[in-house]
Chains A and B, each alone.
Chain A
Amino acid sequence: MLNPAFIPTALLLQLMLLALLQQGLSWWSSLVLIGILLFKYISFKAQKKVRMMTINALAVMLCLLLLSQLWQQDMQDSMLQLLFFSAALRLFSIHSELQHAKKLLWVQYFLITTGFMLDQSLWFASAVFLLFFCNLYLHYLLFAPVQQRQFRWTDIRLLLWVMPLCIALFVLFPRLPPLWQTERQNQAQTGLADELSLGGLERLVQNDSLAFRVEFADEKPVQHELYWRAKVFEAFNGQDWLPDLQRTPQPPLTTPGRYRYQLVVEPHFQRSLFSLGQVSQLQGQVQTAAAGLIESRQQISRRFSYSLTSDGSAVSQQNMEEAKRNLVLRHTNPQASELALQLKQQHRTASAYAQALYQYFEQQQFSYSLRPPVLNQQAQVDQFLFQHKVGFCGHYASAAAYLFRAAGIPARVVAGYQGGVWQAQGDYLQVLQKDAHAWVEYLEDGYWRRFDATVIVAPLRLTQGLSDALSLSERQFLDQFFQRGVLGNWLQQLEWLDYYWSVWVLSFDQTEQRFIWHYFKTMPWLWIGSCIITSLLLMLGIYLWLQRSNQSQNVLLRQRMLKALRPYGEKAHYQSMESYLRQLIQLYPLQATKLKELLSAYQQFEFAEQQEQLQQCRKLLHQLAKHSSTAG
């Protein structure tokens, strides 16, 4: 009795699902799944039933295979694969019973929504919704009355009717914190590395993907003030700059900040978050870290949104010990140390020393390049400062921090992002991975002042972004990585959509919900108005429903009859119920008495309008449906 279109549609759906969940599946499981689907397709075409023994054996084998792979794989991915295998194998048993088909549909609903664990972008969500509707259609195929197996306009209209309810539920339903959370491991890290060596950040600069997006509430900082701090490297091992692991978190300021802004961070599988200067107010999942930084309580494995208030000014000194830590230096670069001492003698204060360093970089004609010469292991700072004089932010930051410390001024390397592109439509700032940057902070009068040699070497890098700061050949080199064709403008529009998807939908949490309630409470007329409108709509709905239910008793009964009697035989659409029942009476002599009683009760209910016969009809239908399995 299964609709012939059911199995091909289910196969197609699972194929699409395979494409959707590709990220979570290993290569071998994808292959196995394609194999299973192909096998099912062939046996379906040839109209051959596969023996359940074979399927069960296959299932056991796959389980063992999964178990053996368990130590190599993420737990969550293994579970996903297990679920997918069971769904694919379930396809083999649905010809026998309706029950199996129902189970399959529910497993598929579950599988489709697991997609959200992998990705939350608007495009992915659209794909998930599409698959969801496909599954809904499958469900429809299974249960629709025989004469209406086509999805019709009325069904679509019905779906549209449900939409306002969905939106209302989304907005009003209490947001519960997650019951459990899963961490994804074995993920390639994106974003800033945990150490800075000369020539670090190179990998990031060649990456065009999105890092995070920011929207400012009122005042926007100027472009060259947009230094997004993410990591501070305070330990120097003679060659690389590393984070100091023995630091305690610095409490945030309580004073109101100058800038209020909201960030939407792309998953980078680290805990570090981005902020401008000194942070003063924090909420929810965000907490303070050492050196005026902030971090998330959990690894950022899905799109994450948070709001901040910060003062644009310099970060204040945490304690005395901090200054000491940032003076530690292993003098691995003798030439640089000598230079530092020379300059320090001429310039007493830290700020004068910084000015002198700026001057030095300017006079010595340092230049900016993304393809600096490769440095030897020994005395890298010396090589950069006195030999090549070419490099990018990592080189300058590393060298400058060395020079500061060598002169006895506490200094550290900060990594993060600089600038970003303002999106005209959305009034929000888009920061890409290629905006990654590194600079130096030195301590003066209890505040950490910013020193960025790139300002001197490549001023355009700050005001107009990376590509303007480069020479033509450098730009061509960069363009290999960023193909921005004719579609550029279009893509921007799409990004804009995706941004508001994250801001309004993904980051809609308890706080936002409380805010809406608060908003309602402060405006009584809005509150009363929406109450009145809702109750009017409700009353209208009830009225229409009562109107319908009066008359549709007959329609309901007819549908019920068709459904209950379908196992006995199909009714032609032009056939009257009487001739249909008479045909059944001929075919099933065992049920003839019941069918005859049903016929007479139905006729009296339908045509003589004797309402009391409805009960009799229902009773007989129930009995007939129960015996339908023995009908044949």
Chain B
Amino acid sequence: MAGIQALQQLEQKLNQVILGKPQAVRLALCCLLSEGHLLIEDLPGLGKTTLAHALALSLGVHYKRVQFTNDMLPADLLGQSVFLRDTQEFQFRSGPIFSQILLADEINRASPRTQSALLEAMEEKQVSVDGLSYALPKPFFVIATQNPLFHAGTNALPESQLDRFLMRLALGFPDLQTEKLILQQDQGQSRLEGLSPCINEQQLLLLQQDVVQIKVSDALLDYLLALVTQSRQQQDCLPLSPRAAKALLRATKAFALMSGRHYATAEDVQQVFPSVAEHRLNPASSRDNQSLSLQLLRKVPCPL
């Protein structure tokens, strides 16, 4: 399991860049390992972009960053066919989406049209332009960031599209000591500069396969289903879909792998549950609010 050691090294490095948020870092890596897309939502200046960048940089894969604005068109993202005079034919010029990691900054500033073009690509893992389909590279991983909804000039992501993100993370304010450390270490240069890849594309694909192999006991599946079923019986939240259940299971497995185990535990489920479920239970909530999912966890007895 050389992959796991590399992964732990990676986690350590990320924690040196994103100070005081080990849980967020671990969950972000989980998301990556379980081939899901990640949405980071928080106020400006809390390190969303830094986390996204750090992840992309340290993975040693090809990545691009797109800053979303409200006048952006789908073609700006996907690419377009250009007529070439020399050969008298159209040629497809691929857009920034053709990368292994796409940093979609401030995704909720784009128009719904552009958003849906991106989300379609996320789900299908391919892009259709002028009747031709172009496969996206592997692995394909979108890290989107967004500001809380109450900020001016934003278009909320619809529920169906929020569902495509495996996790929604919020970083939150650092505690006093961490913030002091950040200020002390501010030498005028970005922390990201020193970051070098410590895992390669091959290893990443192998790790993703390892996640699938993680053992999940029958009783644990029952517990997971009990959580999902509880959400369907409750009045005050949206029900969790089977897709959500699948996402929860994958995230759980990835979390187990991150802890260096080959089996998942109930604690793994409880750790990933708020990040996986909250944006599905309550799409309108924003930032650090995980109340509904935590309530749900408290309602379901866990014998394991």
- Interface positions of A (Cβ within 8 A of B): 147, 554-555, 558, 573-579, 603-604, 606-609
Contacts and interface: CB of A to CB of B under 8 A. Distances in A.
Given A558-B303, A606-B304, A608-B262, A576 B270 contact: yes
B220 interface: yes
A606 B302 contact: no
Contacts of B301: 147, 573-574
Given A573-B302, A576-B270, A607 B264 contact: yes
Given A573-B301, A576-B302, 5 more contacts: A578-B266, A603-B261, A607-B217, A608-B261, A608-B263
B214 to A, nearest CB: 10
A575 B265 contact: no
Interface stretch (B5-13, B87-95, B292-300): B292-300
A575 B269 CA distance: 12
A606 to B, nearest CB: 6
Given A607-B265, A608-B262, A608-B263, A575 B219 contact: no
A359 B271 CA distance: 107
B8 to A, nearest CB: 19
B180 interface: no
B215 A608 contact: yes
Contact of A609 (B215, B265, B299, B302): B215
B288 interface: no
B1 to A, nearest CB: 15
Contacts of A607: 215-217, 220, 263-266, 304
Q: Of residues A576, A577, A579, A609, which shows the largest number of chain B Cβ atoms within 10 Å of its Cβ? A: A576
Among all A-B residue pairs, the 7 with the closest Cβ atoms = A576-B266, A578-B267, A608-B263, A607-B263, A573-B301, A576-B267, A574-B298
Contacts of B220: 607
A34 B255 CA distance: 63
Contacts of A575: 302
Interface residues of B, number: 22
**A contact face: mostly helix, strand, loop, or mixed:** helix
A68 to B, nearest CB: 58
Contact of A574 (B219, B267, B300): B300
Contacts of A576: 265-267, 269-270, 302, 304
Given A608-B262, A608-B263, A577 B304 contact: yes
A609 B217 contact: yes
13 contacts: A147-B301, A558-B304, A577-B266, A578-B267, A603-B263, A606-B265, A607-B215, A607-B216, A607-B265, A607-B266, A607-B304, A609-B215, A609-B263
Contacts of B216: 607
Nearest to A580: B302
B220 to A, nearest CB: 6
A578 B267 CA distance: 6
Interface string B144-178: 00000000000000000000000000000000000
Nearest to A604: B263
A577 B266 CA distance: 8
Q: Of residues B219, B261, B267, which shows the largest number of chain A Cβ atoms within 10 Å of its Cβ? A: B267
Interface string B182-198: 00000000000000000
A604 B265 CA distance: 9
Interface in B253-282: 261-267, 269-270
B257 to A, nearest CB: 13
Contacts of B302: 573-577
Contact of A578 (B217, B265, B299): B265
Nearest to A562: B303
B79 to A, nearest CB: 46
Contacts of A555: 303
Contacts of A609: 215, 217, 263
A579 B267 contact: yes
A602 to B, nearest CB: 9
Contacts of A603: 261, 263, 265
A257 to B, nearest CB: 70
Nearest to B218: A551
B254 to A, nearest CB: 15
B297 A574 contact: yes
A265 to B, nearest CB: 58
Nearest to B300: A574
Interface in B233-270: 261-267, 269-270
A564 to B, nearest CB: 15
A51 B264 CA distance: 53
Nearest to A147: B301
Nearest to A558: B303
A332 to B, nearest CB: 91
Contacts of A558: 303-304
A628 to B, nearest CB: 21
A603 B263 CA distance: 9
Nearest to B256: A607
A604 B217 CA distance: 11
A573 B262 CA distance: 26
Contacts of A574: 297-302
A609 B301 CA distance: 21
A573 B270 CA distance: 13
Nearest to A605: B217
A180 B219 CA distance: 56
B110 to A, nearest CB: 40
Contacts of B300: 574
Contacts of B262: 608
Given A574-B298, A575-B302, A579-B270, A554 B265 contact: no
Q: Of residues B217, B299, B300, B303, which shows the largest number of chain A Cβ atoms within 10 Å of its Cβ? A: B303
A606 B219 contact: yes
Q: Of residues B217, B297, B302, which shows the largest number of chain A Cβ atoms within 10 Å of its Cβ? A: B302
Contacts of B215: 607-609
A566 to B, nearest CB: 15
A465 B303 CA distance: 71
B265 to A, nearest CB: 5
Contacts of A554: 219
Contacts of A578: 265-267
Nearest to A607: B263
A576 B264 CA distance: 13
B303 to A, nearest CB: 5
A603 B264 CA distance: 9
A609 B216 CA distance: 9
Nearest to A576: B266
A575 B267 CA distance: 9
A578 B266 CA distance: 8
Interface string B65-86: 0000000000000000000000
A401 B219 CA distance: 90
B200 to A, nearest CB: 29
B6 to A, nearest CB: 23
Contacts of B263: 603-604, 607-609
A573 B266 CA distance: 13
Contacts of A147: 301
A607 B223 CA distance: 12
B93 to A, nearest CB: 50
A558 B301 CA distance: 13
A275 B272 CA distance: 85
Contacts of A608: 215, 217, 261-263
B271 to A, nearest CB: 9
Contacts of B217: 606-609
A606 B263 CA distance: 10
A138 B116 CA distance: 63
A371 B24 CA distance: 102
Q: Of residues B216, B263, B298, which shows the largest number of chain A Cβ atoms within 10 Å of its Cβ? A: B263
B282 to A, nearest CB: 19
A404 to B, nearest CB: 88
A578 B220 CA distance: 13
A601 to B, nearest CB: 13
A582 to B, nearest CB: 9
A574 to B, nearest CB: 5
